[in-house]
Amino acid sequence: MVNLINQITFCFIAPSVKGWEYKSSTSTIGHYFHYYSDVNYVWLTYGQANGKRMQQKVSISDSPDSIVSTTTGFILNREFKKNLAGTGRKWFGDEFNDRTKSRVYNNKLPGLIPNQQIIYRISVLARSDRTTTFLIDENNNRIGSISLNPVNLADGIGFFASMNFGVFSHSSNLTDQRSVLKLTYNVNDAISTGYLEYFEILYPRYLQPDNDRIWFFSPNKSGVFEYLISNFSNSDIQSF
């Protein structure tokens, strides 16, 4: 949104360099990001022609095939802190070793629906000459582990580090709608080093905004849907 001095408001809609998208190959929703930029650039117009305008849509009067009051909420942790081999476009996040074995990630899950399941997708890697393991806990409950194969540390031939990926689940009955995700690199030697690439949390969510904003995907089927969205702080509501 851009507010000018005469109170005229312009709303610009453009794709981001990172976010969430539907992946047709797996029929799932996952995150995406740009390898080379943190910002996006958009041409509003050129050659003195008008830029693209958002078209108004008239609300349909058809009876809905279904009424939607819930959706999937998304949390992503993906940081670009370390380029392990000093080359290429692969960057990774927090480091784990025998001195910092565990890290805890606190995330509020707005609108969390109880008595259902939360899904965790976690990608980690390790550089070690032995098989190592990441232990995964949610609110002090073990939900799984990820094993990583050894690599040859003696020469520069082969894989620099071993990567693996795990999918886990946990009850959505969390205190204060808060995920307390703990990753522990289960090693006792000074040679082995582990890294977090990313984790995704997909949780059942009511169609309720957080700070008066909510975005969501429509059901993955055709039809007419009525969305029941509640708990806005005022009646000045816009949808895009």
Q: Are 164 and 146 in contact (CB under 8 A)?
A: yes
* 42 pLDDT tier (thresholds 50, 70, 90): confident
Q: Is 100 helix (H, G, I), strand (E, B) or coil?
A: coil
Identify the pLDDT of residue 237: 85
Q: Which pair of tokens denotes residue 21?
A: 């998208």
Give the separation between CA 18 and CA 200, rounded to whole angstroms: 14
Strand partners, 119: 169, 202
Scanning the structure block, which residue is given the tokens 């009067």? 61
Strand partners, 108: 178
Q: Which pair of tokens denotes residue 130?
A: 């032995």
Instruction: Compute the chain's Rg from CA coordinates.
Output: 22
Give the separation between CA 81 and CA 199, rounded to whole angstroms: 15
Identify the pLDDT of residue 8: 67
Strands (E), 115-186: 117-127, 132-138, 141-148, 162-171, 178-185
Give the separation between CA 179 and CA 203, rounded to whole angstroms: 10
As a CATH number, domain 70-205 is 2.60.120.1200
* 105 pLDDT tier (thresholds 50, 70, 90): very high
Q: Which pair of tokens denotes residue 102?
A: 């565990």
Helices (H) and strands (E) counted in the chain, each on its own, are 0, 15
Q: Which pair of tokens denotes residue 124?
A: 């980690």
Residue-wise pLDDT tens digits, 111-147: 999 999 999 999 999 999 999 999 999 999 999 999 9
* 87 pLDDT tier (thresholds 50, 70, 90): confident
Residue-wise pLDDT tens digits, 161-206: 999 999 999 999 999 999 999 999 999 999 999 999 999 999 999 9
Identify the pLDDT of residue 137: 98
Residue 1 has pLDDT above 60, yes or no: no
- Measuring CA to CA, which residue among 122, 128, 116 is closest to residue 145? 122
Strand partners, 77: 199
Strand partners, 203: 73
- Measuring CA to CA, which residue among 214, 183, 207, 205 is closest to residue 196? 183
- Measuring CA to CA, which residue among 202, 42, 183 is closest to residue 112? 202
